[in-house]
């Protein structure tokens, strides 16, 4: 691990914020509108990091290129926008981690594949928007993760070198992007990861099983004697 990193960057869903409960509510509301039975929360949770299209193809047994997939995806995102702060919250102990970073003037930011209007609305609802030093979404780049472009843009906005940053994510594309940018990477195993996923092949610099473990690990990098 890098000691005394210059910045900490997070993926959003499943890494910094537990958004799955609101995705569950939204998906089952859409299914109810279509007169279909609800889906258990764990099935939805395991796919959240894959994005809205993956959720729709799973829930409605459709192909990604089916015209109905796009229609249902748009309806799903409209519903989600209205539900995005019902139960979403920072994972345990990550409020303390962000506070420690703020107190030590270590900038932190978010690099996500979540659309910008949803990301901004969620951060505003959770009173994180003014504390976050950079928010990079797919609309800000030409290639989203696993390309490192969004991570380089975040570093540019914070004005730090990529090699001096830590990037944390719960999906292989996060670790691939972080490694390609030359960052220290942490795989958040508490996130939205299917049980069959072989996380060791992601080649993250480090892995954490819980968000309190992440809090401790980062705290020890910014305060080596703690």
In three state form, how does the secondary structure of 21-73 look?
HHHHHHHHHHHHHCCCCCCCHHHHHCCHHHCHHHHHHHHHCCCCCCHHHHHHH
Torsion angle, CA of 94/156/131/141, rounded to 10 degrees? -80
Angle at 127 between CA 125 and CA 129, to 5 degrees: 95
Q: How far apart are CA 44 and CA 140, in angstroms?
A: 27
18 given a catalytic annotation: no
User: Does 11 qualify as catalytic in the annotation?
Assistant: yes
Q: Running DSSP on this structure, what letter comes out for residue 141?
A: S
Specify burial of residue 173 (Cβ count, 10 A radius: 0-12, 13-18, 19+): middle
Phi, psi of 28 (to 5 degrees): -70, -25
The catalytically annotated residue of 11, 18, 22, 170 is 11
Which of 13, 18, 170, 174 does the annotation list as catalytic?
13
Task: Give the active site residues.
Answer: 11, 13
């Amino acid at each position: 691990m890098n000691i005394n990193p210059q910045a900490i960057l997070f993926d959003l869903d499943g890494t910094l914020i537990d958004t799955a409960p609101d995705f569950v509510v939204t998906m089952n509301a859409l299914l109810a509108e279509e007169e279909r039975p609800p889906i258990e929360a764990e099935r939805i949770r395991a796919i959240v990091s894959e994005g809205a299209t993956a959720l729709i193809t799973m829930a409605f047994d459709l192909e990604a290129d089916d015209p109905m997939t796009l229609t249902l995806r748009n309806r799903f995102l409209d519903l989600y926008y209205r539900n995005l702060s019902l139960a979403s919250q920072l994972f345990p102990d990550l409020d303390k981690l962000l506070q420690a970073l703020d107190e030590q003037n270590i900038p932190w930011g978010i690099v996500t594949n979540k659309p910008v209007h949803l990301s901004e609305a969620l951060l505003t609802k959770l009173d994180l928007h003014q504390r976050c030093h950079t928010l990079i979404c797919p609309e800000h780049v030409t290639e989203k993760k696993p390309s490192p472009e969004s991570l380089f843009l975040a570093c540019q906005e914070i004005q730090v070198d990529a090699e001096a940053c830590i990037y944390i994510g719960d999906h292989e594309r996060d670790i691939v992007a972080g490694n390609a940018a030359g960052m220290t990477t942490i795989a958040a195993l508490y996130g939205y990861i299917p049980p069959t996923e072989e996380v060791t092949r992601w080649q993250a610099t480090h892995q954490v099983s819980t968000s309190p473990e992440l809090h401790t690990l980062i705290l020890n990098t910014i305060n080596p004697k703690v």
